[in-house]
Amino acid sequence: MSRTKRDSGAGIEVRHARQCDARAGGRCSCTPSYRAVAWSQRDKRLVRKTFATEAAAQLWREDARVDLRRGVLVAPRPVRLKDVGDAWLAAALDGGIRNRSGDRYKPSTLRGYEQALREYVYPALGSAKVQDVRAGDVQRLVDELVGRDLGPSTVRNALLPLRALCRRALRQGDINANPTAGVEIPAVRGRRDRIVTPAEALRLIESAPDTDRALWATAFYAGLRRGELQALAWGDVDLAHGLIRVERSWDQKQGFVAPKSAAGRRRVPIAAVLRDYLVRHRLNNSDAERVFGRDDDTPFSASTVSQRAERAWSGRGLRPVTLHECRHTFATLMIAAGVNAKALQTFMGHASITVTLDRYGHLFPGSEQEAADLLDAYLADSAEKARAAEIEPCGKTVGKTAPSKSGSERPWTAASGITPPTDEP
């Protein structure tokens, strides 16, 4: 497109196609577009936007000039998307940018974001100015990733860092609209993690190598995440009062880190069955500071522990289980035992009860028929109590009547819970 200034006072630029005769001074042979231009005194930069009609461009320019004076609109900075993404990652790593819950991003999350930007986003959009990226550009990126037969989860994860940095750029005024809003991505169907029965959990624990039984028991009966198990110290295990204090987690590159969220710092009860395993493990490792590790400076390797267990389980015909599936089993055991959703949220370390209910709500008792039966039973019991309170054995109504303000008589009964009026001062 070439551009010709139509009227410098109006601030509207007419943009012609490259092959248009208007470029050589002839008559226009294309369908031109119109770019409105407004000056931001505060930012010392121009704000531009292109429209299909001159009237729309003029209307936007008038509104933009008002918004610029009010400070509602800011002039976007001409920065490449790659530069914005790299700056966002650095700020998130330093803690200057937090997640939506206000917590620092986990190092593993930022490593995944960096990989997604480098492998998927930057090759397609990295060189574009961030304010020039449109929803159509992002949609074409999604369609291209889908066309490469990448899984829905991979496509979704590729967009997560782009969405995060675009939200930040929008708040800072670098862009006027979020190009990731409304983009269609493939549906991600969450797979069902395996959940084992109490009897099977016990068989798996007892069949694991003796040195790892306390680890698997803690995963099954306390529901700690893998990083939390790797970071657990004996100073966090209060066997006398039956509590595990989760204070930190372990990252394979960063070492000790904070839990996944503020709610990750929590206290988890130690059941009697778990206490027995921990006591035996403590007696065999009396000098250790780390509960589960090769030594005090080195946590256990999840892959090594899993391989050892799988060899032992396969010899006994048992189906293997992962540490993460142990955590899900813990949640189902607590629900089956009658633990309410709010308590389970605390023990699991979920940032919101919504997470708990979305993940495990279907396991809580209370089907439609159960709810109807409970309501029927409650209403029948309430009606029976009301009849018993209002009717004497001889059939007379208990209580007396008192005139209402309207003149009609109104029964004052024991079941109403209202004290009848009295003439006494």
Number of domains in the chain: 3
- 70 — phi, psi (to 5°)? -80, -10
Residues 38 and 114 in one domain: no
How sure is the predictor about 9, in pLDDT bands with cuts at 50, 70 and 90?
very low
Distances (CA, A) of 260 to 104, 107, 168, 331, 347: 9, 10, 22, 18, 14
How sure is the predictor about 367, in pLDDT bands with cuts at 50, 70 and 90?
low
Is 411 within a domain? no
- Residue that is last in its domain, among 172, 206, 221: 172
Tell me, what's the pLDDT at 402? 46
Tell me, what's the pLDDT at 374? 67
Q: What is the CATH number of the domain that holds 152?
A: 1.10.150
Express each pLDDT in 395-419 by its tens digit. 554 444 444 444 444 443 444 444 4
How sure is the predictor about 74, in pLDDT bands with cuts at 50, 70 and 90?
low
Is 191 within a domain? no
- 119 — phi, psi (to 5°)? -85, -30
pLDDT of residue 72 exceeding 80, the answer is no
Residues 262 and 348 in one domain: yes
Is 394 within a domain? no
Is 186 within a domain? no
Range of the domain at 105: 81-172
- Residue that is last in its domain, among 363, 380, 396: 363
How sure is the predictor about 121, in pLDDT bands with cuts at 50, 70 and 90?
very high
Tell me, what's the pLDDT at 299? 93
CA angle 64, 66, 67 (to 5 degrees): 65
Tell me, what's the pLDDT at 404? 44
What does the alpha-carbon distance between residue 82 and residue 88 come to, in Å, rounded to a whole number?
10
Residues 221 and 285 in one domain: yes
Q: How many CA atoms lie within 13 A of 87 on its CB side?
A: 12
What does the alpha-carbon distance between residue 67 and residue 36 come to, in Å, rounded to a whole number?
14
Q: Check: pTM over 0.85? Answer yes or no.
A: no
Residues 95 and 132 in one domain: yes
Residues 246 and 341 in one domain: yes
Residues 221 and 339 in one domain: yes
Tell me, what's the pLDDT at 45? 76
Tell me, what's the pLDDT at 296? 87
Residues 206 and 121 in one domain: no
Q: Find the mean pLDDT for residues 335-352.
A: 90
How sure is the predictor about 43, in pLDDT bands with cuts at 50, 70 and 90?
confident
- Residues whose CB is less than 8 angstroms from the CB of residue 413 and which lie 6 or more positions away in sequence, other chains included: 389, 390, 397, 398, 399
Determine how many CB atoms are found less than 10 A away from the CB of residue 332: 15
Is 329 within a domain? yes
Contact of 232 with 299, CB cutoff 8 Å: no
Is 276 within a domain? yes
Residues 239 and 352 in one domain: yes
Is 384 within a domain? no
**Percent above pLDDT 90 for the chain:** 47
Tell me, what's the pLDDT at 415? 40
- Residue that is last in its domain, among 35, 70, 105: 70
Q: Can you give the length of the chain in residues? A: 425
Tell me, what's the pLDDT at 131? 84
Express each pLDDT in 15-36 by its tens digit. 888 888 888 888 888 998 898 8
Is 383 within a domain? no
Residues 113 and 167 in one domain: yes
Residues 168 and 206 in one domain: no
Tell me, what's the pLDDT at 355? 85
Residues 354 and 218 in one domain: yes
Residues 62 and 207 in one domain: no
Q: Find the mean pLDDT for residues 84-89.
A: 93
